[in-house]
Structures are given as C-alpha cells and as structure tokens.
Structure 1
Amino acid sequence: MSKRNRASVSLPKGVHRVISRGREYFYYQIGRGTDHEGDRIKLPNDPRSPEFWQAVRQAQGLIGQVPADTIGALIDAYETAWPGLPRKLTEGTREQYRRSLKVVRTAWGDLQASSLKPSHVQALIEKLGANTPGSANNVLDALRAMCRWACGPRELLDRDPTQGVVHFDRGEGHRPWTPEQLSYADEHLTGMLRRAYVLARYTGQRASDIIRLGWTDVDDGGFGLRQKKTGVRPWCPIFPELDTEMSKWERRPGPFLLQDNGRPFTTNQLWKVFNAAREETPLDGAVWHGLRANAAIRLRQANHSIAAICDMLGMSPPIVER
C-alpha cells in the first residue's frame, strides 16, 4: 500500500502518524503534547488491516484479546478502506452502510469471520424482514458489499456468506399522498413546514435533499443539486406552483429551510416537526417519500417520458414505472 493511500485513512482519536527516515509509523498516545499525556504505544503499520484496529482497541483499554479475524474487526477494516476504493461510495451510501453494519456487529461482532455461514445470514435477514423488510434489504446489501470486498485478492474471507440469500420483495413502495392529504396540506401547513411540503411535492426530491436546497441551487429555471443518497445530479424544473411560493421567500444565502434558531434543518429535525403537525390530522400515515411518488405521477399524467422523469427526479426507470 502506498504512503499516500495510508495517509488518506481517517485515524481515530489518540492515534498519530510519524515519518522517520522515509518510513511511516503509527502510535497511540492519549493527551499527546499535554501535561497529561499517556504512554506511547506502537501500532501495526497498516491502518487498513484488522490487526491495526485490534491494537487500537487494546490500546484504548479494552480488556482481553480481541481477535483480528472477527466480524467486528472486518467491519472496521472495510469502513477504513472506503476512501481508497476504486469505486467511490457516496456519503449517503456510507451512512446507510454504517447503520446497517451496526446491526451486523451487534449480531456477530465477536464471531470469527470465517465461521459466518449463509444460514446465519438468512436467519438474521428473515428476523429483520418480519417487521422491516426495507431495513433487512439494506443490511443484506451492506453485508454483501463488505464480504465481496473481503474476498478475492485481499484474502480476508475465503467465501461470501451472503451467497444465495435474497432480498425481500420491495412491494409497492411508499404510497403517494391522497387528494385529501394534499388538500389539507395546501390549506393548513404554514412556515417552514409549508416550504418543505411544496419543495418535496414539486421537485420530487428526498427530505435529505430538500433541506439543502437554496437560491444558489437554481440553475436556468430549475434545481440542480447532487442527491445525498445516490450522488445523482437531476435537473428539476421550477414548476409554476413552486415558483409562486418561492416568490414570497426572502433571498439570502444558505438553504430555504431554517429552524427557529436560524440553523439549517437535519432530516431528523424535519421529521420531528412534521410528526407533530400530522398527529390526529388527515396527514397521519403520510411520509415525505410519498410526495416523491406524487411528483412522478404528476409528471407521467402530464405526458413526460420515462427518461425525462428520471432526469428530473433522479429515479431509475423501474421505479418511475412502478
């Protein structure tokens, strides 16, 4: 591994890199350079290896031996390798993989990686899928990506334990909002929640993207913003209904949606505001992603082609057709 690739690895707190006589070394030392610095502990020289992360755990005070070939260590090595992968993962994919691999770590963190079998994976996916098939599919995707990375030239796994395990049926997807729900939202939503609603309804973008939209994203009468989840950059026209709403909004730097304290929304914070507003109203059961479906339906009814809708919403043809 080149020194340049090693330098790109994000090192945990307390770990530092030293170059001496053209060679690089890694050490763990809490409070380095302060009056309370701890002992300096030598670490393995490859920060992408499971052994490196085993040594970090031991240096941090974990009691007992942590095997270097466990599922937990394999997850550490995989996540550390992301910056150097030939096919880059988007930040949205990384976040989803991190969440899903936490489930894997909880289930088998101390299990020897070579002992994981397809029957184990099948049992976990079936258990998760009984209540949340979407989450089960996400866990399987993340685990499969990690195992494929670990197989082959890296020789961290001899076989892929996800082989033969299949996804749950995706079903009909998120339901679009009903005419009653759309009418209620048009009449009753106000403030930032109304802004979020019209942005989601008339751009068809995810909640994680509408919270980032602002005046600087307007490009030749439409929005051009790289999607957080997929990295796709759709171009969505600003339709007259949205243009009328936007004409009332102040022109300032930053996103359209701001909290009462002036800070941008996170996706979770936007959900909290929406959850409070939809209780005991016709919006009960509605989700942000449903407005993405409404946007696709509206565009199809306006006789836009499948390809054009894909370009506007950043969807795949099968999703648009569904």
Structure 2
Amino acid sequence: MNFVQPIRETEKIEDVKEYFKEESERNYLLFLMGINTGLRISDILKLRVSDVRDHHIILREQKTGKQKWIRITPALRREINNYIGSKDDVEYLFKSRQGKNKPIGRSMAYKILQRAASEFRLKDIGTHTLRKTFGYHFYQQTKDVAMLQEIFNHSSPDITLRYIGVNQDSMDRAMARFKI
C-alpha cells in the first residue's frame, strides 16, 4: 500500500472543491464529507441520506467497531441539504450508477480522487488523503493533538502527528535550515 499525504495547501483544497463542484455534485459532496469529518472512506461510502439529516452523523466504524458521533459543521450542513433535497432516507448518499441503490465502491472513490490529483498535479493522493487532510487542518487550526488523537482513535499523540504529516513538515523545515 502506498503512503498517502494530506492536501496541505488551502488553495489546492479550494481548487479541488471547484473542480468537483463543476464535475459532479456527488463527487463534490464526497470530497467535502471526507475533509470535514475525518471519517474513513469505508464509513463514508456506507452513509445513507437518513444518516446525515440530523446535527450528527452517528455510525459504528467498520474498522474499529466503535460507535462514533461526528458533528456536522454548518458549512457542510448547507452542502448536504442542497444535495439531499427530496431524496429518500434509504438512498445511499454516494450512489453508484450500477444497480438500483448501491453505493460507489472504494476503487471508484479512488479513481474520482485520482482525476483531481492528476488535474492539479497532487502527489501521493488516495482515499485516505481525505481523512489526513481533515486531521492536518484540524491540528493546524486547533493545535489540539489530544482531541485529534481521540477523533482518530489513535493510541498516542506521536502516531497522530506522524499520521497527518506534521512530523514530516517539521523535519523538512529543519533540513531546509541545516548546513555544515
């Protein structure tokens, strides 16, 4: 498995948002959902319309089996409301064109992200980039590694910082200043 990176530059995030907004409403919301909730792609793809009608997304994480409550931000709420409109509660949020009511698969989500990565020359991008992008920017805004560790269910702050690429940023800055 390749190691993926968060999207660190907010301008790039805005570019990708615009790209998806023009390309597909579904793909736009998929991107927003990932970068605003920190959920794994496996949990995002299983969401149904009924799961996002309230103030929180309540789910049992596929990987850990733990129940999770994620507050929907006001900006994400507006986009969700625009997207779901009069959709039925039982519909998958990210429906595939294959079958009557099936979600897109992980490989399709990967392909969707790869198209944007190619368009904007982003490296080391995958489905996990969404979760890492959330974590990176959450940490940059709050500097609360303990809360982020809790959100991600990590066992230590060091794991969380390495996971979101903050340690790499620090090493890069130190190496840029290093000289003999």
Gaps of 5+ in 1: 1-131, 135-172
Other-structure match for 2:31:
197
In structure 2, how many angstroms separate the alpha carbons of the residues matched to 1:191 and 1:219?
Answer: 18
1:203 Cα deviation after fit: 0.7
1:307 Cα deviation after fit: 4.0
Say if 1:223 and 1:310 are closer, same or farther in 2 by CA, change over 3 A.
farther
In structure 2, how many angstroms separate the alpha carbons of the residues matched to 1:193 and 1:295?
Answer: 17
Other-structure match for 2:173:
none
Question: Is contact 1:235–1:312 with CA below 8 Å preserved after alignment?
Answer: no
SS of the equivalent of 1:265 reads coil
1:277 Cα deviation after fit: 4.4
Say if 1:178 and 1:309 are closer, same or farther in 2 by CA, change over 3 A.
closer
Question: Is contact 2:6–2:132 with CA below 8 Å preserved after alignment?
Answer: yes
What amino acid does structure 2 have at the position aligned with 1:241?
A
2:6 corresponds to which of 173, 176, 180: 176
Moved more, 192-201 or 208-217: 208-217
Other-structure match for 1:299:
138
Q: Please tell me whether residue 290 in structure 1 is matched to residue 129 in structure 2.
A: yes
Between Structure 1 and Structure 2, which shows a larger proportion of helix residues?
Answer: 2
Other-structure match for 2:46:
212
SS of the equivalent of 2:7 reads coil
What amino acid does structure 2 have at the position aligned with 1:184?
D
SS of the equivalent of 2:46 reads coil
TM-score by length of 2: 0.69
1:305 Cα deviation after fit: 3.9
TM-score by length of 1: 0.42
**Matched pairs, number:** 152
What amino acid does structure 2 have at the position aligned with 1:228?
Q
Q: Please tell me whether residue 257 in structure 1 is matched to residue 97 in structure 2.
A: no
SS of the equivalent of 2:57 reads strand
Other-structure match for 1:308:
147
Q: Please tell me whether residue 320 in structure 1 is matched to residue 174 in structure 2.
A: no
In structure 1, how many angstroms separate the alpha carbons of the residues matched to 2:133 and 2:4?
Answer: 10
In structure 2, how many angstroms separate the alpha carbons of the residues matched to 1:307 and 1:224?
Answer: 21
1:241 Cα deviation after fit: 2.3
What amino acid does structure 2 have at the position aligned with 1:225?
L
1:271 corresponds to which of 89, 107, 110: 110
Question: Is contact 1:181–1:282 with CA below 8 Å preserved after alignment?
Answer: no
Question: Is contact 1:176–1:291 with CA below 8 Å preserved after alignment?
Answer: yes
Q: Taking CA–CA contacts closer than 8 Å with sequence separation of 6 or more, which of the two structures ends up with the larger relative contact order? A: 2
What amino acid does structure 1 have at the position aligned with 2:63?
K
Q: Map Cα deviations across residues 172-212 of structure 1 (whole Å, 9 max, x no partner).
A: x6321132431221211132211110010001111111111
1:287 Cα deviation after fit: 1.9
In structure 1, how many angstroms separate the alpha carbons of the residues matched to 2:116 and 2:57?
Answer: 27
1:265 Cα deviation after fit: 1.1
Question: Is contact 2:109–2:127 with CA below 8 Å preserved after alignment?
Answer: no
In structure 2, how many angstroms separate the alpha carbons of the residues matched to 1:174 and 1:272?
Answer: 14
Task: Kindly report structure 1 stretches of 4+ aligned residues shifted beyond 4 Å.
Answer: none
Gaps of 5+ in 2: 163-180
In structure 2, how many angstroms separate the alpha carbons of the residues matched to 1:216 and 1:194?
Answer: 19
Say if 1:217 and 1:304 are closer, same or farther in 2 by CA, change over 3 A.
farther
Q: Map Cα deviations across residues 78-102 of structure 1 (whole Å, 9 max, x no partner).
A: xxxxxxxxxxxxxxxxxxxxxxxxx
